[in-house]
Amino acid sequence: MDIKAYMDEFGVRFLRLKNNRDNIPLEQLTTKYAKAYNALVGWLEKYAEWFTQEYINCLALSENPKDTAGNAKMQSQTTDILKKRRNYCYI
């Protein structure tokens, strides 16, 4: 799947999640509709991980081969961001 199609699919699924949460009590979503609801949330979580990694990869392209100190600092900050994201990333 190309990036545009993946992002379009995210829009469709995120809207579905929003509509479900707006119109169906959370208790029903997590019990009666748990299988479909959990699959939807799981897909969105995987997308968020993918998107974050793609964004970080784009940042890595801005490294300057002559600025080793700056590159090391950026790598350290990127690592810190990834650690924090893993601890606080919930939908």
64 vs 61 pLDDT, higher one:
64
pLDDT of amino acid 89: 52
Q: What is the distance between the alpha carbons of residues 68 and 75, in angstroms, rounded to a whole number?
A: 10
Q: What is the distance between the alpha carbons of residues 5 and 55, in angstroms, rounded to a whole number?
A: 17
- In angstroms and rounded to an integer, the radius of gyration of the C-alpha atoms of the chain is 18
Region 37-63 average pLDDT = 83
> Residue 42 to residues 2, 10, 27, 34, 79: CA-CA distances in angstroms?
20, 12, 18, 12, 24
Give the 3-state secondary structure percentages of the chain, helix then strand then coil, rounded to 5: 80, 0, 20
Q: What are phi and psi of 62, to 5 degrees?
A: -85, 5
Residues 45-57: tens digit of each pLDDT: 999 888 888 877 7
Residues 16-25: tens digit of each pLDDT: 999 999 999 9
* Residue the block writes with tokens 């968020």: 48
Amino acid at 51: F
